[in-house]
Amino acid sequence: MSSENLDIAYVAKLARIALTDDEVARFGAQLGDLLGHVATLADLDLESIPATAQVVESRNVVREDLERASLDRETVLSGAPQRQGAFVRVPRIIGQA
């Protein structure tokens, strides 16, 4: 649990957040500090302890596969940053421009 392994620039890439150099330095220090605090979990003997994902122990919850009303498309698309007809428009994903 070493904070020396915390490569903020790499993690930011995974998290798809563009950081400034200043943020890389600042967050690196602050999160390194936090990792130092959470290192106390190493004290605990957790060998035979099951993980708790959530406390009320629901199992896979499914519903009947029946068609029912959904959100109005116009309403939903009106919240999109860029749209084109019935589509949300984004930068090219496949192939070269």
Partner 1 sequence: MNGRERSARELIDATLARIENVEPQVGAYLSVLEREARERADALDKRIAAGERFPLAGVPLAVKDNLVLEGTVTTCGSRMLERWVAPYTASAVQSMLSAGAIPVGKANMDEFAMGSSCENSALGVTRNPYDLERVPGGSSGGSAASVAAHEATIALGSDTGGSIREPAAFCNLVGFKPTYGRISRYGLIAFASSLDQIGPLTRTVEDAALAYDAMAGFDPMDSTSVDRAVEPTAGALREDLRGVRIGVVKQFDTHKLGADIDDVYDRALHDLEALGAEIVEVELPTADYGLATYYLIAPAECSSNLARFDGVRYGLRVDGADVAEMNERSRAAGFGPEVKRRILIGTYALSSGYYDAYYVRAQKARTLVARDFAKAFESCDLIAAPAASSPAFRFKSKSDPYSMYLMDYYTIPMSLAGLPALSVPCGWVTPEDGKRPMPLGLQLTAPLFAERPLLAAAHAYERATTHAAKHPTQIAEVAR
86 binds partner 1 (CB under 8 A): no
12 CA to centre of own chain: 11
Q: Determine phi and psi for 16, rounding to 5 degrees.
A: 50, 50
Local structure of 7: helix, strand or coil:
coil
Per-residue interface string for the shown chain with partner 1, residues 28-47, x marking contact by CB under 8 A? --xx-xxx-xxxxx-xx-x-
84 binds partner 1 (CB under 8 A): no
Other CB atoms within 10 Å distance of the CB of residue 19: 17
25 binds partner 1 (CB under 8 A): no
CA separation for the pair 73, 88 (Å, rounded): 11
Other CB atoms within 10 Å distance of the CB of residue 8: 19
Q: Pick the binder of partner 1 from 4, 21, 65, 72 (CB under 8 A).
A: 72
Q: Pick the binder of partner 1 from 68, 79, 85, 86 (CB under 8 A).
A: 79
Local structure of 96: helix, strand or coil:
coil
Q: Rule CB under 8 A: which residues touch partner 1?
A: 1, 5-6, 8, 11-12, 14-19, 23, 27, 30-31, 33-35, 37-41, 43-44, 46, 49-56, 58, 61, 63, 71-72, 75-76, 78-82, 88, 90-93
